[in-house]
Amino acid sequence: MGDPRYSRIAELAVVRGANVQPGQIVGVAASVGQEEAARAVAESAYGRGAKFVDVMYFDPWVKRARILHAPEETLDFVPPWYGQRLLALGELRGARVSFNGTVAPGLTDDLDQARLGRDQLPFIREVGQVVNERTTNWTGVPCPSRPWAKLVFPDLDEEAAYERLWTEVEHVLRLDEDDPNAAWEERIGVLVGSAARLSGRRFDALHLEGPGTDLTVGLLPSGTWMAADFETVDGLRHLPNLPTEEVFTSPDPTRTEGHVAATRPLVFRDGTIIRGLTVRFEEGRAVQIDAETGADALRSLVAMDEGASRLGEVALVDREGRIGPLGTIFYETLLDENAASHIAFGGGFGFLVGDEDKTRVNSSATHLDFMIGSNELSVTGITGDGERVPVLVEGRWQL
């Protein structure tokens, strides 16, 4: 008998997150070590009438071998069938569930970071395509594990850390509520309202100020703000991230100026951790990247194409969510990005702008969020005629 808590996460992901429909093919992205959660998703999806559940596992130990031994010129190669598999899922209007949470903390710490940054796996560029084309109903959810728990709570013994991680994950997923679905519906309503008010102001730019941060991000004229409450091209509603506490837009990739300091570690999808990150932008591009650890990995990644060093997303997070008040650094972007306002290198979202601006949205084969927010961050909206309007102060909306 497996841990029933995985079944509760799986049910939330399948029913409330991805909103799997009868007859759909369901793609599941997991890492080795997350098999129990993947099986729970299969159980739930087939219970909903899924046609087929296709599980694809990523093995970070295999990636380690590649970084150690593969020829330099091959490190950015991705077999074409990886992307074809995902695009086919979109063509067939399938559903997707992915798991987050490192299964091998520190596995890549001793590797050449520049080489590591060239291999994005398990991320593949076609993810951006299916997201923008809105052909799949999808969600990502955290998957607690003992290795991840020990990273988050190093001062606890393994079992105590594991139980503490479960308690906090269930809390941020609202699984500690009598009716988690109703609790999510209420929170999503608040986020949608915040996004609507931001969209209505039609700011030309945002000015973000906080410790180590003085950054101006230009916005696109037809840009709108959105919460993570999506519909597919066929009108099927889904929540792409659980938990979610953000409202976001795609900025003008040519108009970011200033410097920014990350307020939480940036964590790659393979578990690589970038600590103490600072970035300076000129004319939209990241021209200087420094960090206490992992800087070469990030520099290598943002050099992969023209759009990788520019912003594809800016997201604001208030203090009313459940993640930030915990004070826990999860070393997992799905959770940490919803604890604090953040920006993202790489591809943007074409569905957030009008047709006249679609070609201006940043294009890249990567998308990488990093957290810059805290209750000390102030966000000011700047109108087309230069008026400055407080937007977010000490984590509270001002609009």
In terms of domains, do 80 and 111 share one? Answer: yes
In terms of domains, do 41 and 123 share one? Answer: yes
pLDDT confidence of residue 213 = 96
In terms of domains, do 305 and 275 share one? Answer: yes
Alpha-helical regions (H) of the chain: 4-11, 35-47, 60-69, 80-91, 113-118, 126-133, 146-152, 158-172, 180-201, 295-302, 333-336
- Residue range 361-371: average pLDDT? 92
In terms of domains, do 103 and 8 share one? Answer: yes
DSSP letter (8 states) at residue 3: -
Look at residues 172, 204, 220 and tell me which one is the last residue of a structural domain. Answer: 172
Q: What does residue 354 show for φ and ψ, rounded to 5 degrees?
A: -75, 170
In terms of domains, do 223 and 354 share one? Answer: yes
DSSP per-residue codes, 137-158: EEEEEE---HHHHHHH-TTS-H
In terms of domains, do 98 and 162 share one? Answer: yes
pLDDT confidence of residue 121 = 92
Query: Which amino acid, residue 23?
Result: G
| Residue 235 belongs to a domain | no
In terms of domains, do 134 and 101 share one? Answer: yes
pTM of the model: 0.91
- Other beta carbons within 10 Å of 352: 22
In terms of domains, do 353 and 296 share one? Answer: yes
State how many domains the chain has.
Answer: 2
- Give the residue numbers spanning the domain of 62: 4-172
In terms of domains, do 255 and 384 share one? Answer: yes
Q: Is 199 exposed, middle or buried (0-12, 13-18, 19+ CB in 10 A)?
A: middle
In terms of domains, do 139 and 215 share one? Answer: no
Q: What CATH number corresponds to the domain at position 55?
A: 3.40.1830.10
Average pLDDT, whole number, for the chain? Answer: 95
DSSP letter (8 states) at residue 101: S
In terms of domains, do 199 and 317 share one? Answer: yes
Residue 8 pLDDT greater than 90, yes or no = yes
| Residue 94 belongs to a domain | yes
Residue 1: pLDDT band (50, 70, 90) is low
In terms of domains, do 121 and 220 share one? Answer: no
- Residue range 33-62: average pLDDT? 97
The separation between CA 346 and the C-alpha centre of its own chain, rounded to angstroms, equals 12
| Residue 11 belongs to a domain | yes
Residue 272 pLDDT greater than 90, yes or no = no
| Residue 293 belongs to a domain | yes
- Residue range 240-244: average pLDDT? 95
The separation between CA 123 and the C-alpha centre of its own chain, rounded to angstroms, equals 11
Residue 289: pLDDT band (50, 70, 90) is very high
| Residue 61 belongs to a domain | yes
pLDDT confidence of residue 142 = 97
